[in-house]
Homo-oligomer: A and B are copies of this chain.
Amino acid sequence: MPVLSAGEGPLNRGQRSLIGGDQAVAVTIYDVAERAGVGIGTVSRVLNDSPQVREKTRQRVLAAIEEFNYRPSPIAQRLSLRKTLAIGVITPFFTRPSFVERLRGVEAVIAESEYDLIIYNVETVARRDICFQEVPTSHRVDGLIIISLSPGDEDVARWAEAGVPVILVDADHPLLTRVVTDDVAGGYKATRHLIELGHRKIAYISNPLDNPFGFTSSRYRYRGYRQALADFGLPFQPEYHQESDHSRAQTRAATERLLSLDDPPTAIFVASDTRAMGVLEALKARGLKVPDDVAVIGYDDIEVAEYLGLSTVHQPLYETGALGVELLLKQIDDPERSPMRVELPLELVVRQTTVG
């Protein structure tokens, strides 16, 4: 901390004292400069590793910094640099396993950078709209990662005007760089797997295809499901498609509806592992054996999937998050970078809920 110093020049703005004794006072670059007997410019150069500082004065400055335990104010740096040194992440339901896993990838890369990570959690459509509206124009972040939420053209136009780089992860827009997987292919893989096991009566449980958040994955996986059925000459039964929200209760109910059909399915493709748990629960409650009575395959490959022996489609969740940030960092460095679409591969993971 700066001790009381003698200098009483006209421009000693950094002048501080320790009157209270326990009153915390910020040490500034002026304190350090004065202590080291140099100008603040020199201190700044030392801080920023400028090569044009004589080694000897550098040492003096470093000593003063050490003595005062000085840390430059990031706020002041940011104002001066006109950068926030922060990256925002807009994600729905950030506590759900699949989003958490994506965030893990995001965090890992950001932690290695000079940026702070600011999370904007979205649990309602209203909140999403506010985030889409406010965050990019609020000068809070140098760049933005948006997960699983696809923006509209107006959003994208506004963001472009605001000059904020935005990268989409598991979401789509032609004018933005995005990291995605092929949900149609994923749905196809899962369904084909069931077909190849001999199943002919295959159900699909997912989010409502039309949902307020505009999540598209359920719809695309549905397409893959339909495509696979068609390719293998299986008829599509509308009642084999059931919708449920994220909750296990609703998913159990959806499963019940399937099981109560005159001609119930022998296999169920569920659009997320979380929901698949609801299905397994309903099956167990009915005393049905998995996979003998009913086979189940999920989607995502979250951590518990392995534990449950749940067959699923592995999605590179961590990787998409990490890659998204890497692309964002590049975009921040070079705003002219043209948008690209990066697709990461999916992988069928066969476990005990389909193959006993």
Known A-B contacts A119-B117, A160-B22; A137 and B71 likewise in contact (beta carbons under 8 Å) = yes
Q: Are B107 and A140 in contact (CB under 8 A)?
A: no
Interface 1/0 per residue, A48-76 and B, CB below 8 Å: 00000000000000000000010111111
A24 in the interface (beta carbon within 8 A): yes
Complex CA gap A103/B134 in Å reads: 23
Contacts of A160 in B (CB 8 A): 22
Known A-B contacts A22-B160, A94-B107, A162-B24; A75 and B139 likewise in contact (beta carbons under 8 Å) = yes
Interface 1/0 per residue, A215-253 and B, CB below 8 Å: 000000000000000000000000000000000100000
Report how many copies the assembly holds: 2
Interface 1/0 per residue, A95-120 and B, CB below 8 Å: 10000110110010001000011110
A304 in the interface (beta carbon within 8 A): yes
Complex CA gap A138/B116 in Å reads: 13
Contacts of A24 in B (CB 8 A): 161-164
Interface size class of A (residues with CB under 8 A): 35 or more
Known A-B contacts A107-B94, A307-B281; A137 and B69 likewise in contact (beta carbons under 8 Å) = yes
A126 in the interface (beta carbon within 8 A): no
Q: Are B75 and A79 in contact (CB under 8 A)?
A: yes
Interface 1/0 per residue, A245-286 and B, CB below 8 Å: 000100000000000000000000000000001000100000
Shortest CB distance A93–B (Å): 10
Q: Are B163 and A140 in contact (CB under 8 A)?
A: no
Complex CA gap A306/B277 in Å reads: 11
Shortest CB distance A338–B (Å): 14
Interface 1/0 per residue, A113-145 and B, CB below 8 Å: 000111101000000000000100111100000
Q: Are A84 and B95 in contact (CB under 8 A)?
A: no
Q: Are A75 and B73 in contact (CB under 8 A)?
A: no
Considering only CB atoms, which chain B residue lies closest to A103 in the complex? B95
Apart from A72-B139, A277-B307, 14 more pairs, CB < 8 Å:
A22-B161, A24-B161, A69-B137, A71-B139, A74-B140, A75-B75, A95-B100, A95-B101, A95-B103, A95-B104, A100-B100, A107-B119, A119-B119, A281-B307
Can you list 5 residue pairs at the A/B interface with Cβ under 8 Å? A24-B162, A74-B138, A74-B139, A75-B75, A79-B79
Which 4 residue pairs spanning A and B have beta carbons closest together?
A24-B163, A95-B104, A73-B139, A75-B78
